[in-house]
Chains A and B, each alone.
Chain A
């Protein structure tokens, strides 16, 4: 999962560099959402918290 998110981030930069700005935006949002989902997984896995 971590590797895939870094791959999304690298692809975001590549899309920006090549001028594919709409693709870069989609990849940015995908990476952000995946990162937050992974954070949720680790947050509940390492130390259960409730808000």
Chain B
């Protein structure tokens, strides 16, 4: 059963990391993330932090039900915050005729997918708490879990670089970002920035 719990923790991390990579791929294709999209990425990374924390604890000692509850509880709190953000963005664009923000992916906009992800994180964390161990146990697959947590750290670092490029030295992101402002802040782009398109709705 401890192998099942370890695999479930690694699967939870990889699933959310896959969604984050999909969002990153959309950004590389020119779909600039809005401030609410960035907030949802933060919440997803904090959701990933829960099972990552559990695996990191298991590298050094046995983990018990208290460790599971703390780590998955943290994930649920982050997922509730993220669901609030994605739910709000969905409600902004829910009126008939509203084209939404950005291009849809697999039939739904990214913020709608984000809501599905946060609901799934809450569901899986709840399911995980139904199968808590009765006594402390050592989780197997330490090498694989290090690799999985390493992927999560790499994606977090990648998002840090991307958002620094987008935000530059400004306090917050603009409502409708169209360019990487750090390039302008450092004087690396000489031509004038194109005006914000009036056809693209604000987030």
Contact = CB atoms under 8 A, between A and B. Distances in A.
Interface of A: 1-3, 5-7, 9-10, 12-14, 16-17, 19, 21, 24, 28, 31-32, 35-36, 38-39, 41-43, 45-47
Interface residues of B, number: 40
A47 B202 CA distance: 10
A9 B172 contact: no
Contact of A10 (B59, B160, B166, B167): B160
Nearest to A3: B164
B159 A21 contact: no
A42 B36 contact: yes
Given A2-B163, A32-B46, A35-B81, A17 B153 contact: yes
Main secondary structure of the interface of A (DSSP, over half): helix
A19 B60 contact: yes
Nearest to B165: A3
Interface of B: 35-36, 38-39, 42-43, 45-46, 49, 52-53, 56-57, 59-60, 74, 77-78, 81, 84-85, 88, 92, 149, 152-153, 156-157, 159-160, 163-164, 166-167, 171-173, 175, 202-203
Contacts of A1: 167, 171-172
B156 A9 contact: yes
A7 B60 CA distance: 25
Given A19-B60, A21-B53, A35-B81, A9 B45 contact: yes
Given A6-B42, A32-B77, A42-B36, 15 more contacts: A2-B42, A2-B167, A3-B164, A6-B160, A9-B49, A10-B157, A13-B49, A13-B152, A16-B56, A21-B53, A21-B56, A32-B81, A41-B172, A42-B175, A43-B88
A2 B35 contact: yes
